[in-house]
Amino acid sequence: MRAVFASRNRHKAEQVARLLPDVELVLLDEVAPGLELKEPFDTFEENALAKARTVAAHTSMPAIADDSGLEVDALSGAPGVLSARYAGEDATDDDNNRKLVEQLRGVPEDRRTCRYRCAAVLVMPDGRELVAEGTCEGRVVLDGRGNLGFGYDPHVVPEGETRTMGEIPLEEKLRFSHRGRAFRGLAEKMRILETSAQAEHLQVERTRATLDESDVQTGPFRQFELWMREALERESGEPNAMTLATATRDGRPSARMVLLRWFDERGFVFFTNYESRKGRELAENPQAALVLYWGSLQRQVCITGRVARLTTEDSKTYFDSRPRGSRLGAWASHQSQIIGSRAELDERLRALEDRYPDDDIPLPPFWGGFRLVPDTIEFWQGRPNRLHDRLRFTRTEEGWILERLSP
């Protein structure tokens, strides 16, 4: 899609371009240099829609816009929609930050809680509209730090962090920021919108979809790679989500959703707390089953096999790639154990933030990866009248054999 970004803020345009890689973003000055955009409303959503509607009507092109700001609890939600002009219509970022600090001087740090809020919208020339919202909780610090952001970033420390938004690099910030969350939500809705325009065609394709022995890739892993790639392109949400079923030594089963982190011909990898229920059951009975289901494609893959822990080195490599908050969370949570209150968990996290003030957080000895080494991999393709196609690969000493199962 080619769309106009309804803003003249190039910092913001840079972020949005990264968050919407499938959109060819056209800057407003390239198509409507003299167009005036107003933000007259009391909510971020209304202001974003007003700007996008103006641009879509003027250019006859899809228009993307956002409105965002800082809400400070001690100031009853101010500056809110006035964030960009908190100190006046022609205020600079420095002007706004000075006023914010003056308003909060004397307010205890634990009462300087705040949140960034962003509404991201798409307006189509035919009148269709999409809206998504994102928030990022944090607190205001009076001494500004960092120059990697704009607006109030030097004075806002996001939840779970010790650095200000002005000290956090853009790529890292976009993973959790209000704008990152809003535009990722908008991107998902845009994918659904694009798909809905082809819904009737897709329904026909579903009823015609088949899984024939002659079409299957050589070996189950190549077939799985093909299906996973198609799921990533067409399935909303998290296509790598899968049910993991385990059992105790005496066969009492349990199941839950986990995320497939990677796979290769050695097996399928997921991560967890080794002392969780699934971790304990896998220690007692290292057999498991996985199911991945992709509803829009009417497909599922059922996998069974033996499970083994990853090496500490492999677990550490993945752990170090996770966001800081997720790494601290792995230490804070005694997964599957009874806990007295949410406050107890929050207190553990605060203690860990003090213990590890920088990014050097070690791998917990009780946390890491498992690899399921498959014995069987079954590919299931939905067909009309519940006469589905089911092809199963089974591992033998000579290699994989392929068999068709009755639906």
Cβ pair 179, 65 in contact under 8 A: no
The 63-72 sheet, strands edge to edge = 24-27, 2-5, 63-72, 113-123, 129-140, 156-158
How many helices (H) and strands (E) the chain has is answered by 12, 15
120 exposure class (CB count in 10 Å sphere: 0-12, 13-18, 19+): buried
- Following DSSP, what letter does each residue of 318-362 receive, concatenated? HHHHS-HHHHHHHHH--TTS--S-HHHHHHHHHHHHHH--SS--P
Strands 2-5 and 24-27: parallel
For residue 367, with 0-12 CB atoms within 10 Å meaning exposed, 13-18 middle and 19 or more buried, which class applies? buried
Q: How distant is the alpha carbon of residue 91 from its chain centre?
A: 34
β 2-5/63-72 pair status: parallel
Q: In the annotation, is 184 catalytic?
A: no
Task: Find all residues with CB under 8 Å of 245, minimum gap 6, and list them.
Answer: 253, 254, 255, 288, 289, 290, 291
d(CA 298, CA 301): 11
Q: The tokens of 184 are what?
A: 């990722």
> Which of the following is catalytic: 280, 386, 390, 392?
386
The residues annotated with a catalytic role in the active site are: 386
